Amino acid sequence: MEGFYKLISHFQTQSEPAYCGLASLSMVLNALAIDPGRTWKGPWRWFDESMLDCCEPLEKVKAKGISVGKLACLAHCAGADVQTFRTNESSINEFRNYVKACSQVEDVHVVSSYHRGIFKQTGSGHFSPIGGYHAGRDMALILDVARFKYPPHWVPLTLLWEAMDTIDEASGENRGYMLISRQEQEPALLFTLSCKHQSWESVAKYLIEDIPSLLKSTSMKDVEEA
């Protein structure tokens, strides 16, 4: 349950009825300790729903909610790595394996997009992080960000899959789930250019032809001799 402890320490309530996606993402980003690159309030650097606006205007999300694709875009924009799986592109066994694996680690979390009606809950489309998995009973723990409506609750994983295997009327696409983790950045190649003794033609050749070759090379000697 390592994943649960990280998530529960950042468990939050969505601040607007249609902010379930933003609240889920904000919660996961903070659990992953991703730096938002700006302060929230005072000196604290902390993700808040109001900071997740690079892919969709907040007023639009407030009025209509957000799609799986736009939420994935926001996650990338915020500095996370995201894998998106719609139910017509995945399987219940694959989903179960991911939920089980993510419940045992701290560095990747599952966010589910599902229809509340399958659980006989009020409302329709909803996002929430998955906080754990019970192998003996094949159940998933939903950390529902609409805490004013429902507390965290266990549901049969087969029923959760059924709730995800529905069509989002706004986009016309299947719902599904996302795996969100920190981005793995490759080491950067640092260099400076001087045109003092070179023509622009040779500089252009260097940028277009030589640099791509250097990036593909595994030999430090090639870089030193360039």
Same domain, 108 and 215: no
State whether 48 and 145 are in the same domain: yes
* Tens digit of each residue's pLDDT (9 = 90 or more) over 92-147: 999 999 999 999 999 999 999 999 999 999 999 999 999 999 999 999 999 999 99
The CATH number linked to 119 is: 3.90.70.30
Residues 202 and 116 reside in one and the same domain = no
The predicted model gives 4-22 an average pLDDT of: 95
- Same structural domain, 117 and 31: yes
Higher pLDDT, 208 or 68: 68
- 10 and 51 in a single domain? The answer is yes
- Which residues constitute the domain of residue 165? 2-182
Per-residue pLDDT tens over the stretch 174-205 = 999 999 999 876 434 444 444 444 555 665 66
Catalogue the active-site residues.
Answer: 20, 126, 144
Pair 128, 213 in one domain: no
> Looking at the 3D structure of the chain, how many domains does it have?
2
Following DSSP, what letter does each residue of the chain receive, concatenated?
Answer: -HHHHHHHTT----SSTT-HHHHHHHHHHHHTT---SS-SBTTB----GGG--SSS-HHHHHHH---HHHHHHHHHHTTEEEEEEEGGGS-HHHHHHHHHHHTT-SSEEEEEEEEGGGGT-SSSEEEEEEEEEETTTTEEEE--S-TTT---EEEEHHHHHHHHSSEETTTTEE-EEEEEEE--PPPP-------TTS-HHHHHHIIIIIHHHHHH---HHHHHH-
Query: Are 106 and 153 part of one and the same domain?
Result: yes
